[in-house]
Homo-oligomer: A and B are copies of this chain.
Amino acid sequence: MSGGHVLALSGGVGGAKLAAGLAAVLPPERLTIAVNTGDDFEHLGLTVCPDIDSVVYALAGLNDTVRGWGVADETWQMMGMLRRLGGEDWFNLGDRDLAMHLQRSAGLRGGETLSQVTARLAAALGIGAAVVPMSDDAVRTQVLTEAGWLDFQRYFVGEQCRPVVRGFRFQGAEQARMAPGLAAALARVDLAAVVVCPSNPYLSVDPLLAVPGVRAALLALDCPRIAVSPLIGGQAVKGPLAKLIGEIAPGGEGNALIANHYGTLLTHLVIDRRDDADAEALRGRGLSVTVTATLMRESADRERLAREVLAAIGME
């Protein structure tokens, strides 16, 4: 694969699939994956970083492809006992997954930054690409609902996305500093592309863009900035995005909504074949549009899509 360094911006499950595809087709020293930490939270004394874990598990080949999140071959023995003990059981922590949270939390308590502990645990799982949090400072996504502000995991897991959403905020973002690995990737003279993975724009990518300096640095780049749309057939593949779009931006705009949302941050957009009808209007806005199959069921899909994304920006 020719060309320079690639910076991918990723949220959780959907983004992690493309991140894993990029990791499969690029040499490790040519890939930095900056991950949303707005979904992170403290639970049972553990620091849980769902999106970092999704990316790490996907890159390590440990992700559960059937359930769609968490670790393969997972068991739930701790949760069973936790319920007997009267513990908070609204958030499922698998037994294998717990090792990650325990190791991370012990590292953070011992003085490691989130960047350091993430790098150490990713390396232990044999991951060569740089997986970096967007920030080592706490940024916490909150969702404004009819019932007031809810912490993201309370909305997403606790309330199963039932409350109608009116807005978001990323607490701590204004004071957060870009993580060293993200700042370093943005400053590389050989940075050849930014790939916005097919993650939720509002909940997974916006927190990344809310970290001071990230948006300006992206806009100042003269390399291609390409997103894979998270929509297929005008709808989100899974997760709360489909419901959210109806609540935040009703009217069924499809990929125009994605293009509007990212604006001049994007030079290129990859959309699914089922949304081929969106292509002409998107091109009319000055975007370079690639139409292909964007659903990633298997690792072959992830790698093919990663290659097509890189090909779309001239990195064959």
Contact for A106 among B44, B77, B98, CB less than 8 A: B44
Bound-state CA distance A105–B102 (Å) is: 12
With a 10 A CB-CB cut-off, give which of A44, A73, A74, A100 has the most chain B CB atoms.
Answer: A44
Is A81 in the interface zone, CB < 8 Å from B?
yes
Contact call A102/B78, Cβ cutoff below 8 A = yes
A97 proximity list for chain B (CB < 8 A)? 81
Contact call B75/A87, Cβ cutoff below 8 A = no
The residues in A between 87 and 115 inclusive whose CB is less than 8 angstroms from any CB of B are: 87, 94-100, 102-103, 105-106, 109
A84 proximity list for chain B (CB < 8 A)? 99, 124-125
Contact call B78/A45, Cβ cutoff below 8 A = no
A95 proximity list for chain B (CB < 8 A)? 75, 77-78, 95, 98
What copy number does this chain have within its complex? Answer: 2
Residues of A contacting B: mostly? helix
A121 proximity list for chain B (CB < 8 A)? 85-86
A73 proximity list for chain B (CB < 8 A)? 77
With a 10 A CB-CB cut-off, give which of A75, A96, A99 has the most chain B CB atoms.
Answer: A99
CB distance from A307 to the nearest CB of B (A): 29
Contact call B85/A99, Cβ cutoff below 8 A = yes
A237 proximity list for chain B (CB < 8 A)? none
Bound-state CA distance A85–B124 (Å) is: 5
Is A263 in the interface zone, CB < 8 Å from B?
no
Is A203 in the interface zone, CB < 8 Å from B?
no
Contact call B124/A86, Cβ cutoff below 8 A = yes
- Select from chain B the residue with minimum beta-carbon distance to A79: B99
- Select from chain B the residue with minimum beta-carbon distance to A89: B99
Contact call A96/B71, Cβ cutoff below 8 A = no
Contact call A100/B124, Cβ cutoff below 8 A = no
Is A273 in the interface zone, CB < 8 Å from B?
no
Bound-state CA distance A99–B74 (Å) is: 16
Is A80 in the interface zone, CB < 8 Å from B?
yes
CB distance from A37 to the nearest CB of B (A): 19
- Select from chain B the residue with minimum beta-carbon distance to A73: B77
Bound-state CA distance A74–B97 (Å) is: 17
CB distance from A70 to the nearest CB of B (A): 11
Contact for A45 among B74, B86, B99, B105, CB less than 8 A: B105
With a 10 A CB-CB cut-off, give which of A46, A80, A81, A124 has the most chain B CB atoms.
Answer: A81
Bound-state CA distance A53–B78 (Å) is: 15
| With contact pairs A45-B106, A45-B109 given, residues A98 and B124 touching in the complex (Cβ less than 8 Å) | no
Residues of A within 8 A of B (CB): 44-46, 71, 73-75, 77-82, 84-87, 94-100, 102-103, 105-106, 109, 120-121, 124-125
With A75-B77, A80-B96, A81-B100 already in contact, 9 other A-B pairs whose C-beta atoms are closer than 8 Å: A78-B95, A81-B96, A82-B99, A82-B103, A84-B99, A84-B125, A85-B99, A85-B100, A86-B124
> 6 tightest A-B contacts by CB?
A81-B99, A77-B95, A95-B95, A82-B99, A86-B124, A81-B96
